[in-house]
C-alpha cells in the first residue's frame, strides 16, 4: 500500500494514508514524497479533511469492524482496493511483467526491474521491499513497461481473489508454488486455482515463464494455457537452464546453448542457488521484451539485493549479523543454504521468529526442524501471550534438532534472554542469521550491542 501511495503521488494525486503502526522505513519514504501519514483508524479522520477525498484505497489488512472502514461504508463514500486501483489507473495499456510465486518474488522483481533500468527502459515498478539499486520501493516510470511483484494473497475484505488477477500481465513469471497463507487458503489446490486465474489473463501474444521443475506449476499449466510457455530449471529439457560456477555465478543456457554468464559483484548481497534460478527467470522474462541474455547478465553484474534479503546489518568483534525476511520453511532452508555457500565451514547461528500467519497457525511447524539443519545453533523466539503469540510449543517442535545434537536448538519467550544467550554463544568468525517477517523487537541492534560489550 505504501508503494501504491507513492505511485499515486507521482501521478499527481494528493495522497494521505493511515495505518495502525506508522514507522520507518516506509513512513520516512512516504513523508519524503509529500504524503501525509495519520496514526490509527479513527473515524474522526473524516471530519478533519478540508475537502473529502475523492476515493479511499483500501488495503487487505483492513477488515469489517475497522472503525474507519465502518464509517466509510455508513456514509456511502467511494472506495476501491489497492490492486484494482493500480490495475485500472496505472497498469492499463502498459506492458506488465508480473513476478509470481511462493518464494523469491521481491528479489526476482528487483532483478528484473534493474535489468530493464540498466538497459535504458526506465520502467515503472512496484516491489514489496526496497531494492538497493533504487531509493524507493515503487515508481510510476516513464516508459510502457511496468514490473510488479504479483502476490497471491487476497485483495481486500470485499474481494477475495488474489491480488495478481488485477494486473493483467503480458509477461507472467511463475517462479515456484507451495502451500502457504493457511489463514486464507485451505490447501495447495486452492492456491493453484488462483494461479490458474492469473494464467487465464495473459494474452495469446504474451508469455508465461514457468519453473519447469515445480510440480504444482506443472499442475497449473496442465489446466490450460493460452499463451506461449517457456520453462526454466536445472534440466536441459527446459528452454532456459544454467551451469553453476564459483562464487555463485552461473552460465545461462537457452535451448542448451550457452548464451551468457552472470558474475555477481562482491557487494551484491546475492548468494545461494535459489538466487541463481531467480536471476535465470528474470533473464528469460527480459528476453521476451527484447533484452538479450548477455545484456541482462551485464545488468546483474551490478545488481544489489533487496533490503532484508540476507542483508548485512553490522559486524562486531568479527561476528556478522544478517537480516532476512524468511518466514516459510522452504525460504528458511534456501536462506541458510545461501549463507552456508558463502561462509563455508564458519558457524551459523540461526535466530528465528516464526511470525507469519501460516507459521502461527502451526501448519508448517513439522517442517521447521528440517529447514534449520544446516545451521550450527538455533535460537527461536515465540511469545506466549498477546497478538504475536504462537498456538503451539516451540520447544517441542524444535526437539528433533536436539536429538541430532544436544543443545543445538533453544526456544525463548523473552527477547532479552534470547539476545543474552546468542551473545554468550557467539565467537569471532561466527555469522548470526536473523529471520523474521516482522521487526523482531529490534533484535539486530540489540545483538550487535550485546556482542560489542563482550
- Interacting residues of 40 by C-beta distance below 8 A, sequence separation 6+: 18, 20
Q: Out of 212-221, 324-333, 442-451, which region has the weakest mean confidence (pLDDT)?
A: 324-333
Q: How far apart are CA 423 and CA 249, in angstroms?
A: 33
CA nearest neighbour of 1 among 117, 85, 91, 71? 85
pLDDT in tens, 36-46: 999 999 999 99
pLDDT of residue 283: 98
Residue with more model confidence, 280 or 358: 280
Cell of 319: 561476528
* pLDDT reported for residue 71: 97
The answer to whether the CB of 226 falls within 8 A of the CB of 200 is: yes
Strand ranges in 202-361 using DSSP code E only, listed in sequence order? 207-211, 229-232, 240-244, 250-254, 257-262, 311-316, 319-324, 348-352
In the predicted structure, residue 362 carries a pLDDT above the cut 80: no
pLDDT of amino acid 358? 66
Please, which pLDDT band fits residue 217 given cuts at 50, 70 and 90? Answer: very high
Long-range contacts of 20-26 (CB under 8 A, 24+ apart): 23/439, 25/130, 25/307, 26/2, 26/137
Tell me what the mean pLDDT of segment 442-452 comes to. Answer: 94
Residues 6+ apart with CB under 8 A from 261: 245, 249, 250, 251, 252, 297
Higher per-residue pLDDT: 163 or 27: 163
pLDDT bucket at 178, cuts 50 / 70 / 90: confident
pLDDT for residue 77: 97
Kindly tell me if the per-residue pLDDT of 182 is higher than 60: yes
C-alpha cell at 182: 493457511
Q: Could you say which architecture CATH assigns to the domain 311-452?
A: Alpha-Beta Complex (3.90)
Confidence of residue 328 (pLDDT cuts 50, 70, 90): confident
Q: Give me the pLDDT at residue 181, please.
A: 65
Q: Which of 181-190, 226-235, 247-256 has the lowest mean pLDDT?
A: 181-190
With 60 as the cut, is the pLDDT of residue 245 above it?
yes
Q: Which of 102, 176, 60, 107 is nearest to 364 (CA)?
A: 102
CATH code of the region 84-300: 3.40.1190.10
User: Considering the chain, what is the average pLDDT of its residues?
Assistant: 91
Q: What is the reported pTM?
A: 0.79
In terms of CATH architecture, what is 2-77? 3-Layer(aba) Sandwich (3.40)
What does the pLDDT average to over 401-423? 92
Predicted local distance difference test score (pLDDT) of residue 255: 96
The torsion angle over the Cα atoms of residues 337, 369, 105 and 340, rounded to 10 degrees, is -10
- Mean pLDDT computed over 422-444: 92
pLDDT score of 387: 56
Cα gap 282→297, rounded to integer Å: 10
Average pLDDT of the segment spanning 47-76 = 96
Q: Domain residue spans in the chain?
A: 2-77, 84-300, 311-452
Residue 413 half-sphere exposure toward CB, CA atoms < 13 A = 12
Average confidence (pLDDT) over 106-134: 93
Residue 200: count of CB within 10 angstroms of its CB: 13
| Residue 386: per-residue pLDDT | 56
Amino acid at each position: 500500500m505504501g508503494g501504491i501511495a507513492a505511485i499515486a503521488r507521482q501521478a499527481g494525486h494528493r495522497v494521505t494514508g493511515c495505518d495502525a503502526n506508522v514507522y520507518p522505513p516506509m513512513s520516512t519514504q512516504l513523508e519524503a514524497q509529500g504524503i501525509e501519514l495519520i496514526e490509527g483508524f479513527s473515524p474522526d479522520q473524516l471530519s478533519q479533511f478540508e475537502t473529502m477525498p475523492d476515493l479511499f484505497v483500501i488495503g487487505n489488512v483492513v477488515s469489517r469492524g475497522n472503525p474507519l472502514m465502518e464509517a466509510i461504508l455508513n456514509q456511502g463514500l467511494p472506495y476501491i482496493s489497492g490492486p484494482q486501483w493500480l490495475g485500472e489507473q496505472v497498469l492499463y495499456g502498459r506492458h506488465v511483467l508480473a513476478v509470481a510465486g511462493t518464494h523469491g518474488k521481491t528479489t526476482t522483481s528487483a532483478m528484473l526491474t534493474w535489468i530493464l533500468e540498466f538497459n535504458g527502459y526506465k520502467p515503472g515498478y512496484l516491489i514489496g521491499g526496497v531494492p538497493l539499486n533504487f531509493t524507493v520501493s515503487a515508481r510510476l516510470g516513464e516508459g510502457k513497461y511496468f514490473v510488479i511483484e504479483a502476490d497471491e494473497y487476497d485483495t481486500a475484505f470485499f474481494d477475495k481473489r488474489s491480488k495478481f488477477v488485477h494486473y493483467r500481465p503480458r509477461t507472467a513469471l511463475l517462479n515456484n508454488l507451495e502451500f502457504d497463507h493457511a489463514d486464507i487458503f485451505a490447501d495447495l489446490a486452492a492456491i493453484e486455482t488462483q494461479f490458474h486465474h492469473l494464467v487465464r489473463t495473459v494474452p495469446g501474444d504474451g508469455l508465461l515463464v514457468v519453473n519447469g521443475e515445480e510440480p504444482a506449476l506443472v499442475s497449473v499449466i496442465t489446466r490450460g494455457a493460452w499463451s506461449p510457455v517457456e520453462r526454466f530449471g536445472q534440466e536441459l529439457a527446459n528452454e532456459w537452464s544454467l551451469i553453476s560456477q564459483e562464487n555463485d555465478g552461473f552460465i545461462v543456457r537457452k535451448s542448451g546453448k550457452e548464451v551468457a554468464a552472470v558474475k555477481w559483484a562482491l557487494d551484491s548481497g546475492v548468494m545461494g542457488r535459489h538466487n541463481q534460478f531467480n536471476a535465470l527467470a528474470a533473464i528469460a522474462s527480459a528476453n521476451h521484451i527484447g533484452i538479450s541474455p548477455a545484456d541482462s547478465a551485464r545488468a546483474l553484474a551490478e545488481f544489489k539485493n533487496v533490503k532484508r534479503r540476507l542483508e548485512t546489518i553490522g559486524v562486531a568483534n568479527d561476528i556478522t549479523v544478517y537480516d532476512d525476511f524468511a518466514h516459510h520453511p522452504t525460504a528458511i532452508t534456501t536462506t541458510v543454504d545461501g549463507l552456508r555457500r558463502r561462509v563455508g565451514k564458519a558457524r551459523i547461528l540461526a535466530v528465528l521468529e516464526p511470525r507469519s500467519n501460516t507459521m502461527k497457525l502451526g501448519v508448517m511447524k513439522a517442517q521447521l526442524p528440517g529447514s534449520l539443519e544446516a545451521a550450527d545453533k538455533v535460537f527461536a523466539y515465540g511469545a506466549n501471550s498477546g497478538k504475536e503469540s504462537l498456538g503451539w510449543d516451540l520447544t517441542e517442535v524444535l526437539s528433533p534438532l536436539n536429538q541430532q545434537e544436544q543443545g543445538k536448538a533453544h526456544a525463548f519467550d523473552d527477547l532479552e534472554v534470547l539476545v543474552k544467550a546468542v551473545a554468550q554463544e557467539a565467537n569471532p568468525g561466527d555469522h548470526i542469521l536473523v529471520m523474521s517477517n516482522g521487526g523482531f523487537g529490534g533484535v539486530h541492534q540489540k545483538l550487535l550491542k550485546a556482542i560489542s560489550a563482550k
